[in-house]
A and B are shown apart, each in its own frame.
Chain A
């Protein structure tokens, strides 16, 4: 046996659980049995950017922290600094992450043009463009828009607010 073989054998033996247990005197249920993954576990929100938002569901308007990384949503948790909810969320609010990411979420709208006979698929952005066009008076031009807007404006920006008002006016 060469020196390399002996060191390899030693390495193999020392990684054997029984020998590890005898060496450390543990019963194999504690720190000695932690894997590298267990030792270095990190919450998925680590190194994420955080945006402050408001829960899109009911009119209570609980605070939410939106964790995102590389333009992807990672998690939505309650905002402990919100005076309304102090970091708590109800089951609906707790499921906000899936409201955005669920495979069953609709991301196209059905649209029938004025005097058109068939429905066509329209991207959400196009719908927003139509509903925000000041030349389009929704009722008079026979453009019917059916769309769901939250009771609360989720990110408090002006565009969202105007869209909501327009929706209500229509």
Chain B
């Protein structure tokens, strides 16, 4: 086998093996950061390669140790998984490149090597969840990434990070436990852990009570992990108190990985085997999604802390994503998956800007940020541009998401009109909270004279690459669009 055929396993193994090695480095130097960044860049390149392969040949299968599935573990990388890999590795790389200075400042006395080892473990865990085709593997990788992320959040500059991390831990553990119970039920009924195999073995016993129970536990557990309203409380907290580079990394991808698993279970395993699953999904999830984007946006308007505001904005955005899924149509799925990608771009850009601001001001509270527009004009301008994408102004990636989501929603008839109105209301609320920042930054007179002091060059570069990507994919959305439509047709094809 050539190296290119080994890419599916390499993308997990590389960060997983480098992490423990990294933790052995002692003392304070740039070496741990450098190694983590190089590893992250490497996985990003692998992800790009994998995406190329998926675009060319469709879904990739990889059998670990050449053991045939379902006896051995199989890896599957479909179009959506490829997109997720791009998001995860890209976000990790962006966070590391942009956040070097921030981490030096925010981490304080700790051992940098241990922190970066955790970073790589989280990376490996998230990637692992994405590539594996095995339900129990998902749990294992979920635990790896979660445990590492608890540590990373707890490293925040404020002591409140400890309680934030504890909340995150409790919720995360609950979610993982529910997930495990669900998988347990399914294993009990089918004797297999491979998702595709599970789907086919369930055929004879569809609609039985344990399968229904499993579905319930899985959904609940994953919704907790994904911070779907009303199980979102941990997330804005974690983003606020985590070191800002960690927020860049996690805001772009961590909850989406849970949504990714949810998608796989919903459409590959449950939809064909639970008669009423589509109805359950729609009637149960649509109200939650609507509440998510309305409440999320409304709370974001009243938040005075930039990081927390963006956290609540993420609650709203997750509402959009899940809304697309819960329509159970091809258009809805496509819209949902496009927003996976676009939201990652938007939030990564916004949090990168916030990292720069936090670095210079030592605070992300709106009250402290007067004169920001003069002190860091480039950073703030980038923030405004990314904010426009968040609102969904045409020519930005955010607009493409909204466009597809509304088209998908309109297909559902009269309910669609109501949902369209609600989506637009929530977009308008986004205008309000983005503009609140603009006003403080540009039009609030600072108390003391400001001197120009931009964010570090590396951060600026990452920030502008992300902002330009927002516009690039707003003008030419073919990459996420192709991947999403490919995946939507496989997912619904499997179900029908």
Co-complex (A, B): no
Contacts from A to B (Cβ < 8 Å)? none
Contacts from B to A (Cβ < 8 Å)? none
